[in-house]
């Protein structure tokens, strides 16, 4: 492979859209396509768009083993998380004003909870162990008579560590406490059966599984019981929970991408596992390499690694024009700051400030991983030598 070819290793931030999804989306944009407003049911153009959306909704629901009317289309997981958490908080506050989450959640969950604390709610932030695992006993111990909601992500976006949401879901159902799961990083990579696991609300985002940006879903197991307070008001689309004209092209693209991800799940997982092992072997050629997060209980497409005596910003700056890496979350408006996830795991000092996230996927090649590993080792070695001069 040519050494000047740029290598994209930031799949956890966003994935390229599957070509099949792009081809389908184009049929819903131009004058000769199905471009009309799906709410304009007074004519055939609108009806065609409506039918396309409902078909896509059914396809996505089937892959989650859910019902079509349990899915609300949103702009993505950030909006879904906000709608789920604020929606429960404001609609259920007469029952109680306490929420339980973890200190390693995505910013869209943490910042939503921080906001709710300013308007009278109480939030307990459960800390993980040193490997990033949330102890279910700690979650249950945080519950009070005032608790109305537990929000816990399925797979961490910085470490790839998976949480045992199945066991917690059963326990919370027995206690009649709402359970929200941010599944942005797991949908399309792990099988999720919403008929078997009693999750009340589940957030997903298409651009994490090779679909378009700007579209996602919120699964609501029982809309009559849950009664969310909407964030947006207007035309009453999506059962009144999310007003606004639906983007037909994005929705059909999301459904197509999800179908492909579901079909390719074993193949994609095996591919990422192979790439992870290959990259780890390369990086371990040098001393002072530490992998962050439980390596036995994580998705293989995300690798969080620290290099002793090398800061993440210096390494990423050195490789900026060659290799796309990440430090912390991709949702911090481009700001490079110490990872709140690693800090919550008790990681400090060189290990914290030297941590980078390397994430790959379906289109990453073995040659790219080999080249990236070589360049990372070279730059880490060079930066350490500079520090000694």
Active site residues: 331
User: Which residue, 11, 6, 42, 56, is CA-closest to 247?
Assistant: 56
Instruction: Pull the structure tokens for residue 109.
Output: 């969950």
Q: Decide if 11 contacts 357 (C-beta within 8 A).
A: no
User: Which residue, 145, 137, 152, 135, is CA-closest to 100?
Assistant: 152
Alpha helices (runs of H) in 231-299, residue ranges in sequence order: 248-283
The CA distance from 68 to 49, in Å, is 16
Q: What size, in residues, is the chain? A: 389
State CA 388 to chain mean position distance.
Answer: 39
Per-residue DSSP letter, 123 = E
**H/E stretch holding 99:** strand 98-102
The CA distance from 170 to 175, in Å, is 9
Cross-strand partners of 326: 357
Query: How do beta strands 201-205 and 178-182 pair?
Result: parallel
Instruction: Pull the structure tokens for residue 257.
Output: 């991408």
């Amino acid at each position: 492979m040519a050494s000047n070819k740029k290598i994209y290793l930031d799949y956890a931030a966003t994935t390229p859209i599957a070509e099949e999804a792009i081809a389908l989306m184009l049929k819903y944009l131009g004058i000769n396509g199905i471009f009309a407003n799906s709410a304009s049911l007074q004519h055939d153009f609108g009806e065609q768009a409506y039918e396309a959306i409902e078909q896509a909704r059914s396809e996505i629901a089937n892959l989650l083993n859910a019902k079509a009317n349990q899915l609300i289309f949103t702009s993505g997981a950030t909006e879904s998380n906000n709608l789920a958490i604020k929606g429960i908080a404001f609609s259920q506050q007469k029952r109680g004003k306490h929420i339980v989450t973890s200190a390693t959640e995505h910013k869209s969950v943490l910042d939503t909870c921080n906001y709710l604390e300013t308007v009278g709610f109480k939030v307990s932030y459960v800390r993980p162990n040193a490997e990033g695992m949330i102890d279910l006993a700690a979650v249950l111990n945080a519950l009070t008579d005032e608790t109305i909601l537990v929000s816990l992500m399925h797979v961490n976006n910085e470490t790839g560590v998976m949480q045992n949401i199945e066991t917690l879901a059963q326990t919370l159902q027995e206690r009649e406490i709402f359970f929200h799961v941010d599944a942005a990083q797991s949908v399309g990579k792990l099988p999720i059966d919403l008929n078997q696991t009693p999750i009340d609300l589940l957030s997903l985002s298409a651009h994490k599984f090779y679909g378009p940006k700007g579209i996602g879903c919120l699964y609501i197991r029982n809309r009559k019981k849950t009664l969310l307070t909407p964030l947006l008001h207007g035309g009453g689309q999506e059962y009144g929970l999310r007003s606004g004209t639906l983007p037909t092209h994005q929705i059909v693209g999301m459904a197509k991408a999800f179908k492909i991800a579901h079909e390719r799940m074993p193949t994609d997982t095996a591919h990422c596992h192979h790439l992870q092992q290959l990259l780890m072997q390369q990086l371990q050629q040098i001393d002072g390499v530490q992998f962050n997060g439980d390596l036995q209980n994580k998705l293989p497409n995300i690798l969080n690694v620290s290099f002793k005596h090398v800061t993440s910003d210096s390494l990423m700056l050195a490789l900026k024009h060659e290799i796309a890496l990440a430090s912390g979350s991709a949702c911090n408006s481009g700001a490079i700051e110490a990872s709140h996830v690693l800090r919550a795991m008790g990681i400090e000092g060189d290990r914290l400030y030297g941590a980078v996230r390397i994430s790959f996927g379906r289109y990453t090649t073995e040659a790219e991983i080999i080249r990236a590993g070589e360049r990372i080792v070279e730059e880490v070695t060079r930066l350490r030598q500079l520090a000694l001069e």
